[in-house]
Amino acid sequence: MGKPMRIRAKAANGETTVRALMAHIMEGGQRKDSSGNRIPAHHITDVTASHNGKTVLTAQWGSAVSQNPFLAFTFKGGAAGEKLAISWKDNKGDSRTDEVTIS
């Protein structure tokens, strides 16, 4: 189970803006350790966001997305008190889901 995300979802003027920070090393796979061996890529591959159970965004990420990734997007609808959830999966089979209340 991955580490907790920091998610903020704010509803205004008929739409909800989501800003999220995910805790993940996002190892690119280019670096070498002190013995000269390549450190294998370890990164989030899939992200899904849903509002009240309905998918509002899906993403596929490669190893070039930065460490502790940031994501921001906006969808129509959503109101204070409703739920916004974000899930990620990485290439080592780890995953994480966090849910917040839209403010």
Partner 1 sequence: MKRKLALVAVLASSVMGLAHANDVEAGIAQYREMLQDGNPAELFEMSGEELWTTPRGPKNATMEKCDLGKGPGVVAAAFVELPRYFADTGRVQDLESRIVTCMVSLQGFDEAKILKTGYAKGEQANVRDMATYVAGASRELKINVPQDHQKEREMYEVGKRLFFMRSGPHDFACATCHAEDNKRIRLQGLPNLTGNPGDGIGFAAWPAYRVGNGQMWPMQKRLNDCYRQQRFPEPKFASDATIALGVYMGVNAKDAKSIAPAIKR
Partner 2 sequence: MNTTRRQVIKTTGVLGTLVSLGIITQAQAIAADARPGFATKSFSDAIASLGGTPTTSADIAVNTPDIAENGAVVPVGATSKIPNTTDMWFFVEKNPYPLAASFSFPEGTDPEVKTRVKMGTSTQVTVVVKAGGELYAASKETKVTLGGCGG
Provide the binding-site residues for partner 2, judged by CB under 8 A. Answer: 15, 28-32, 40-42, 45, 54-67, 69-77, 91-93
Cα separation, 81 vs 78, in Å, equals 9
Cα separation, 43 vs 92, in Å, equals 8
Nearer to partner 1, 52 or 66 (CB): 66
Question: With CB cut-offs between 5 and 8 Å by kind, which of partner 1, partner 2, none does residue 91 bind?
Answer: partner 2
Tell me how far, at minimum, the Cβ of 75 lies from partner 1, in Å.
Answer: 18
List of residues contacting partner 1 (CB under 8 A): 3-6, 19, 21, 23, 25, 66-68, 70, 72
The encoded tokens of residue 29 equal 């796979």
Backbone angles phi, psi at 101, to 5 degrees: -95, 130
Tell me how far, at minimum, the Cβ of 20 lies from partner 2, in Å.
Answer: 10
Q: Is 20 exposed, middle or buried (0-12, 13-18, 19+ CB in 10 A)?
A: buried
Nearer to partner 1, 6 or 92 (CB): 6
Give the residues across from 47 on adjacent strands. Answer: 59, 88
Tell me how far, at minimum, the Cβ of 72 lies from partner 1, in Å.
Answer: 7
